[in-house]
Amino acid sequence: MKLLVFLLVGFGLLTTPAAFAQTTPTATTAPDTAQLRAFVGKYTAEGAPFEAVLITIENGKLMGEAVGQGKAELTPDSKTPDTFGAVGYDASVTFARDADRRVTKLTLRLNDQEFICQKAP
Protein backbone atom coordinates (compact mmCIF):
# COMPACT_ATOMS: atom_id res chain seq x y z
CA MET A 1 0.00 0.00 0.00
CA LYS A 2 2.84 2.41 0.84
CA LEU A 3 4.39 1.70 -2.55
CA LEU A 4 1.11 2.55 -4.32
CA VAL A 5 0.81 5.87 -2.44
CA PHE A 6 4.46 6.66 -3.22
CA LEU A 7 3.93 5.95 -6.93
CA LEU A 8 0.75 8.03 -7.08
CA VAL A 9 2.37 10.97 -5.29
CA GLY A 10 5.50 10.70 -7.44
CA PHE A 11 3.44 10.55 -10.64
CA GLY A 12 1.41 13.55 -9.46
CA LEU A 13 4.58 15.60 -9.05
CA LEU A 14 5.77 14.68 -12.51
CA THR A 15 2.54 15.79 -14.13
CA THR A 16 2.10 19.14 -12.42
CA PRO A 17 1.43 22.05 -14.79
CA ALA A 18 4.91 23.45 -14.11
CA ALA A 19 6.59 20.19 -15.07
CA PHE A 20 4.44 19.90 -18.17
CA ALA A 21 5.21 23.48 -19.23
CA GLN A 22 8.92 22.73 -19.17
CA THR A 23 8.54 19.88 -21.65
CA THR A 24 6.08 21.61 -23.96
CA PRO A 25 7.78 23.05 -27.09
CA THR A 26 7.62 26.82 -27.28
CA ALA A 27 6.25 28.61 -30.32
CA THR A 28 8.49 30.85 -32.41
CA THR A 29 7.99 34.40 -31.27
CA ALA A 30 7.74 37.38 -33.55
CA PRO A 31 10.24 40.22 -33.21
CA ASP A 32 9.26 42.71 -30.53
CA THR A 33 8.17 46.24 -31.34
CA ALA A 34 11.60 47.71 -30.49
CA GLN A 35 13.25 45.48 -33.09
CA LEU A 36 10.59 46.34 -35.68
CA ARG A 37 11.15 50.10 -35.34
CA ALA A 38 14.36 49.81 -37.40
CA PHE A 39 12.22 49.01 -40.47
CA VAL A 40 9.67 51.84 -40.08
CA GLY A 41 9.77 54.58 -42.69
CA LYS A 42 9.00 55.66 -46.23
CA TYR A 43 10.86 53.89 -49.02
CA THR A 44 10.78 55.58 -52.43
CA ALA A 45 10.41 53.45 -55.51
CA GLU A 46 11.72 54.09 -59.01
CA GLY A 47 10.17 52.41 -62.05
CA ALA A 48 7.38 50.89 -59.97
CA PRO A 49 3.61 51.21 -60.37
CA PHE A 50 3.55 52.90 -56.95
CA GLU A 51 5.32 55.97 -55.55
CA ALA A 52 6.58 54.49 -52.29
CA VAL A 53 6.33 51.73 -49.74
CA LEU A 54 5.29 52.78 -46.25
CA ILE A 55 6.36 50.58 -43.34
CA THR A 56 4.55 51.13 -40.05
CA ILE A 57 3.79 49.36 -36.80
CA GLU A 58 0.12 48.89 -35.93
CA ASN A 59 -0.97 47.06 -32.78
CA GLY A 60 2.53 45.61 -32.43
CA LYS A 61 2.57 44.24 -35.99
CA LEU A 62 4.77 45.33 -38.86
CA MET A 63 2.67 46.59 -41.76
CA GLY A 64 3.64 47.37 -45.34
CA GLU A 65 1.77 49.46 -47.86
CA ALA A 66 2.70 50.02 -51.48
CA VAL A 67 0.96 53.38 -51.85
CA GLY A 68 -2.25 52.92 -53.82
CA GLN A 69 -1.85 49.13 -53.95
CA GLY A 70 -3.04 48.06 -50.50
CA LYS A 71 -1.69 47.33 -47.03
CA ALA A 72 -0.68 44.01 -45.48
CA GLU A 73 0.78 42.62 -42.31
CA LEU A 74 4.41 41.59 -42.72
CA THR A 75 5.33 38.35 -40.98
CA PRO A 76 8.95 37.31 -40.40
CA ASP A 77 10.52 34.61 -42.54
CA SER A 78 12.02 32.14 -40.08
CA LYS A 79 14.82 31.19 -42.48
CA THR A 80 16.03 34.57 -43.75
CA PRO A 81 16.89 37.52 -41.49
CA ASP A 82 15.21 40.86 -42.27
CA THR A 83 12.80 39.17 -44.70
CA PHE A 84 9.04 39.23 -44.28
CA GLY A 85 6.07 37.77 -46.14
CA ALA A 86 3.01 39.90 -46.91
CA VAL A 87 -0.13 38.27 -45.55
CA GLY A 88 -2.73 37.86 -48.31
CA TYR A 89 -0.34 38.73 -51.16
CA ASP A 90 2.19 36.83 -53.26
CA ALA A 91 4.87 39.17 -51.97
CA SER A 92 7.90 39.40 -49.73
CA VAL A 93 9.98 42.27 -48.40
CA THR A 94 13.70 42.03 -47.65
CA PHE A 95 15.37 44.91 -45.85
CA ALA A 96 19.04 45.80 -46.48
CA ARG A 97 21.35 47.28 -43.85
CA ASP A 98 24.51 49.35 -44.12
CA ALA A 99 27.80 48.69 -42.28
CA ASP A 100 26.35 50.35 -39.15
CA ARG A 101 23.33 47.97 -39.25
CA ARG A 102 20.90 50.78 -40.17
CA VAL A 103 18.13 49.83 -42.59
CA THR A 104 18.73 51.73 -45.85
CA LYS A 105 16.49 50.09 -48.46
CA LEU A 106 14.09 47.29 -49.14
CA THR A 107 13.47 44.90 -51.98
CA LEU A 108 9.82 44.16 -52.67
CA ARG A 109 9.14 40.96 -54.59
CA LEU A 110 5.57 41.07 -55.86
CA ASN A 111 3.98 38.75 -58.44
CA ASP A 112 7.31 37.73 -60.01
CA GLN A 113 8.52 41.34 -60.13
CA GLU A 114 11.21 42.96 -58.00
CA PHE A 115 11.33 46.59 -56.88
CA ILE A 116 14.20 48.19 -54.94
CA CYS A 117 13.12 51.10 -52.76
CA GLN A 118 15.46 53.51 -50.93
CA LYS A 119 14.62 54.61 -47.39
CA ALA A 120 13.90 58.33 -47.20
CA PRO A 121 15.99 60.27 -44.64
* pLDDT tens digits for range 48-82: 999 999 999 999 999 999 998 889 999 999 999 99
Q: Low-confidence residues of the chain, pLDDT below 50?
A: 1-28
Amino acid letter, residue 66:
A
Contact present, 108 and 91 (Cβ < 8 Å):
yes
Per-residue pLDDT, 121: 87
Please tell me the distance from the alpha carbon of residue 41 to that of residue 53, in angstroms, as a whole number.
8
33-119 classified as CATH 2.40.128.50: yes
Residue whose C-alpha is closest to residue 30's, from 64, 55, 62, 59: 62
Per-residue pLDDT, 96: 97
Please tell me the distance from the alpha carbon of residue 83 to that of residue 93, in angstroms, as a whole number.
6
Amino acid letter, residue 53:
V
Q: Domain ranges in the chain?
A: 33-119
